[in-house]
Structure 1
Amino acid sequence: MKVTGAKTKEYKNSIEFLSDFGKDLPQIVFVASKESYEFEILAEKYKEAIKKSGEAFEIVIFVSEPGDFERFQSEAFNLDMFSARKLFIIKSGLEFFKPISGGKGKNNESLQKQFSNFPDSIQLLVHYNHWEVPAKVLQIFGGKVNLVKTKNFYPNETRGGLLQACKEIGVQLEEDAMDQFLHKIPPSMGAYLQSLSKLKLYLGKKTFTKQDIEDVLLFSGELNSSGLVDFFMESDRIRFFKELSKFQKGKDSLLLFLTILKERIDQLRKYKIISRKYEASLSDDEIYEYLDIQSYSPARKNFVRNRLKKEASFFSDKIVSELYDFLIEINIRIKTGSEKEESEFYFSRRMENFFLQLRRKDRIL
């Protein structure tokens, strides 16, 4: 936790926030996060806390439609003395607070004067669907905001974050299950909490195996971008295109696959440099740190190292270089919408070409 501005408190996830306040939840909370799962957890906690108080209350939800900001002002500052306690929930805060984040100085000064006297009978919970909340928005509440600013874990934080999430949900993972979970699940507290809750709900137990992770979290009729990358890096053409057949236009995005692939190629490139020039002079711990796997279990570290050794024999420097060019090109095509109808065909054709290169016996390493 850290303090920003005069009074604003910042928390790195919902668990840290809840453990700090317990039952006495603060009046104004912003959750800055691209995903909504942690925000929904806090919303439920607020609803439960108000119900337990026994007071009459009303929940008012704003979804950032035109006119919602003005309606919010009207409802917040025109209360009669007999009004019930209210919980204001604002979704899509990035759009909702645009009159402030994009506003001029004098207008914002007027709003700050008004909002700094926020009525005590109202609690405000905002999902700000971005990684950052502009200072302009926080300032109008006179430093009273508690900010839950969620970000992806760094590699050395994933295991600690998962243990924290397990404690919150009341479950345990066996060691190989934990390795599999960390390897496959996106590194954020929201993703960890959501996945653990799904395991507990589906299987009705508190200790989970690697097979449980694979059966509940990884087996799906939907496209698995992480698995798609695994099949490509293993040069398994049949399984790759079988998985790619699940791709659905308008629902799936190849951008997640490209992001994961770039991370794997970056790691492979580092390993190739280390194995050629520095492996004899570096300790195992130093190698693991350079590869960003220092937080993995000993078994997982050994697995990744062996996997990289195998991949290095398949992927020549020439192929790695071509992959970087491809990643940039297809990324631009997808994001700009150029040749939109042909993007999937182009992607498949280029991947087929890479598989042909990986199978050639005369690869130049």
Structure 2
Amino acid sequence: MERDWRFFIVSTNSGVVHREIYPSAFNGDISLNTGVGGSVTIPLASVRDAGKSYWESLTLPTIRSLFVTYKGVAVWGGVVWKRKYTKSANTITLTMQDLWSVLKRRYLIRAITRPAESHLQFGPYSLVTAAWKIVQFAKDDATWRDDLPIIFPSNTVAGDTVLNYRGYQAITVADAVEQVIGWSGGPDVWFKPERNTSDSTGRFHWRMQSEAALNMDHQIDVNLVGSGVDYEVEHDAENVVNKAYVFGVGNGSKTASASEFRHETQYIQLDGAWMDRKTHQRHHLVRFAGERVRRNADMNYTHRMTIHPDGFPGLLNNNESALRIVPGMVVNRISDDSDPFLNPNKSFRLAGYRLSVGANGADPIELDLRG
């Protein structure tokens, strides 16, 4: 495997490096505003004289994470959730999920004897600040098992958003952040992997980026004509919803509920139902129904482009000191009138991308473009 690519097992709680590993295969996804994952296969013979207890400790799910660097720049990080030993191949395969997977297992409940009585309030903040303040709660219970190596924005921006979470609602940190992202004017969120290069520790961490229109100030032009860049587009109406039904707390016909219908639509009537929302307040359900109809009003237009890490535009910037390809950036596709399906020029946001590295080197990077 190319030595441009390096792989490190670290402590999930601290980011401290335990060992560099030498896998035979790796793939990992990067995405904006949602959780994704990856996997890595490790030949056990790659570490001499390492026994059962060594591998059990090094690859322990949730306690360990994997970070990946390319030419010294951190490009991926995920928490180990599964491991599989294959005797015939003498390998361990780890399945990872990014930091969102932990936030799905942390609840907005203060640790008290009666959790239903818990009450947390965030604000008044801007939506950008509210998102990272919610995540900050997930790592601030003052025990090492709760800690996570996350660096948060330094500026708290005031606003008119006040968020209240009751214990009986049992809302996860991930659900709360995704709700804030989905509101009008909500931020984009990305947990960017980084390595501390300012001292000798070499620890890894995630930097939480919460900004409106995150990374849209970064742009690249990609000419499809004669560049060798592959490209495909897919239109999918599977998740279109123009009539939403939402149900909350209650029994039978007394169940709190709301609905929303979008009249201006080019599609046939397509219903969606969301059950067991943990609230009895109808205005919350009305707002949620409106969000579902707004977010699912149109079919998904998925555009995929493949580039090589060392090609153009390439994974790193020109001096190879930072990522050039980052979620949320603008990709300007340039083609010509001879194409039978594509418009000549179009701009997209980069929703995410996939990295894949094998014994023979890196595969092309698949970009997920939306717009």
- What is the TM-score normalised by the length of structure 1? 0.22
- Structure with greater Cα Rg: 1
- What is the TM-score normalised by the length of structure 2? 0.22
* The structure with more helix, counted as a fraction of residues: 1
